[in-house]
Amino acid sequence: MTKALRSNFPPGSPREAARRAQWRALGLTDEDMKKPKIAVVNSSSELAICFSHLDGVAKIVKDAVRAAGGVPFEIRTAAPSDFIISAGHAGGYILPSRDLIVNDMEIAVEGAQLDGMICLSSCDKTPPGHLMAAGRFNIPSILVMCGYQPCGEVNGKHVDIEDVFLGSIQASFGKLSREELRAMCDNAITGPGVCQGMATANSMHVVCEALGMSLPGSAPVLANSPRMVEMARRSGQRIVELVLEDIKPRDILTPGAFHNAVAAVLAVSGSINCIKHLQATAVEAGVDVDIYKMFNDLGGKIPVLSAVRPNGDDSIEDFEAAGGARALMKQLAPRLDLKAMTVTGKTVGENLAEVVVQNEQVIRPIGRPFSDKPPIVVLRGTLAPESAIVKLGLRGPDRQTRFSGPAIVYDEAGEAMRAIANGEVKAGNVLVVRGMGVKGGPGMAGPASQVVFALDSADLQQQVAFVSDGQLSGLCNKGLTVAEVAPESAVGGPLSLVQNGDRITIDVDNHLLDLDVPPAELAARRARLGEPQLPHATGYLSIYQRTVQPMSKGAVLVLDSKPTEV
Supply the pLDDT for residue 2. Answer: 53
What is the rounded distance in angstroms from the CA atom of residue 333 to the CA atom of residue 536? 49
What does the pLDDT look like over 324-369, one tens digit per residue?
999 999 999 999 999 999 999 999 999 999 999 999 999 999 999 9
Supply the pLDDT for residue 43. Answer: 96
What is the rounded distance in angstroms from the CA atom of residue 372 to the CA atom of residue 391? 15
Q: Is 473 a catalytic residue?
A: yes
Residue among 183, 208, 246 at smallest CA distance from 126: 208
What's the mean pLDDT when you consider all of the chain?
95
Asked whether the predicted pLDDT for residue 85 surpasses 80, the reply is yes
Name the pLDDT band for 565 (thresholds 50, 70, 90): very low
Beta pairing, strands 37-42 & 116-121: parallel
Buried b (16+ CB within 10 A) or exposed e, 192-203: bbbbbbbbbbbb
CA angle 259, 80, 138 (to 5 degrees): 45
What does the pLDDT look like over 123-181, one tens digit per residue?
999 999 999 999 999 999 999 999 999 999 999 999 999 899 989 999 999 999 999 99
The dihedrals phi and psi of 77, each to the nearest 5 degrees, come to: -130, 175
CA angle 311, 204, 368 (to 5 degrees): 40
Could you give the 3-state DSSP secondary structure of residue 95? Answer: helix
Could you give the 3-state DSSP secondary structure of residue 485? Answer: strand
Domain 376-535 has CATH 3.40.50.720: no
User: Where is 514: in which H helix or E strand?
Assistant: strand 512-516
Task: Indicate the burial class of 522 (C-beta count within 10 angstroms; 0-12, 13-18, 19 or more).
Answer: middle
What does the pLDDT look like over 74-83, one tens digit per residue?
999 999 999 9
Q: Which residues pair with 387 in a beta bridge?
A: 486
What does the pLDDT look like over 296-308, one tens digit per residue?
999 999 999 999 9
Supply the pLDDT for residue 561. Answer: 45
What is the rounded distance in angstroms from the CA atom of residue 533 to the CA atom of residue 535? 6
- DSSP annotation string for 406-474: EEEEESSHHHHHHHHHTT-S-TT-EEEE-S-STTTTTSS-S-HHHHHHHHHHTT-TTT-EEEESS---T
Supply the pLDDT for residue 560. Answer: 61
Supply the pLDDT for residue 160. Answer: 94
Catalytic position from the list 473, 489, 542, 561: 473
**Considering the chain, what percentage of its residues have pLDDT values greater than 90?**
92
Name the pLDDT band for 472 (thresholds 50, 70, 90): confident
CATH number of 35-149+194-352: 3.40.50.2300
Mean pLDDT of 543-551: 96
Supply the pLDDT for residue 475. Answer: 66
**Considering the chain, what percentage of its residues have pLDDT values greater than 70?**
98
Q: Where are the domains of the chain?
A: 35-149+194-352, 151-190, 376-535
Name the pLDDT band for 187 (thresholds 50, 70, 90): very high
Q: Which residue has the higher pLDDT, 477 or 508?
A: 508
Asked whether the predicted pLDDT for residue 566 surpasses 70, the reply is no
